[in-house]
Amino acid sequence: MTAELPENIEGLVQKPCRAEVENAYRTIIRYLGDDPSRAGLLETPARAVRALNEYFSGYEIDPGEILHKTFEEIDGYNEMVILRDIPFESHCEHHLAPIIGKAWIAYLPVKRVVGISKLARVVDAYAKRLQIQERMTAQIAKTIDMALRPAGVGVAIKATHHCMSSRGVKKHNTDLITRHMLGAFSNDDSIRSEFLSLVY
């Protein structure tokens, strides 16, 4: 499956092979001042590449396809559907540092719903890419809106950014909170308030 890439990428270069990436890690190890041929580091480049493939597996997933299968036998259900406390791990595109957090997703169904595990998979599909939290929040909301055509979508994310807590200003115990509202969640204060009362 073709990976969905950020909208601002133009003119992609050829993806390097695994051996090239392992060699790049050997260069990084030397840059840090250690010896990549040392016994303890000998297998580190290969392990690091395997870890990269796991951390950034979202590039190989089409988030919209995850929501392709829906269920229409909902007997007129039209109240808010909320999936809370969805854990995720991502990486900051500026420093490659971890972003650890939780997401909350809600939507107002119109004639169809989706399996709840699929909502968590959409979060992972976007989290397992180089990200900024603001964009990730909007991407999740827009994907659910396009796939389900609900009356509204609300997405909230709360996360700790290690680019801020482990380096730079080193401000521990800080969280970034982002929200993206579409449809009724954006223009109906009561619906927005109900959603926000159930998050964080």
Q: Which residues are catalytic?
A: 92-95, 133, 161, 163
108 close to 191: Cβ distance less than 8 angstroms: yes
* Distance, CA of 141 to chain centre: 11
**Token pair belonging to 119:** 């909502």
Q: How far apart are CA 177 and CA 163, in angstroms?
A: 16
200 close to 158: Cβ distance less than 8 angstroms: yes
DSSP letter (8 states) at residue 197? T
66 close to 122: Cβ distance less than 8 angstroms: yes
Q: How far apart are CA 167 and CA 182, in angstroms?
A: 35
What is the amino acid identity at position 86?
I
Q: How far apart are CA 175 and CA 144, in angstroms?
A: 25
Q: How far apart are CA 188 and CA 149, in angstroms?
A: 17
- Residue 20, H or E segment: helix 18-32
Q: How far apart are CA 156 and CA 82, in angstroms?
A: 11
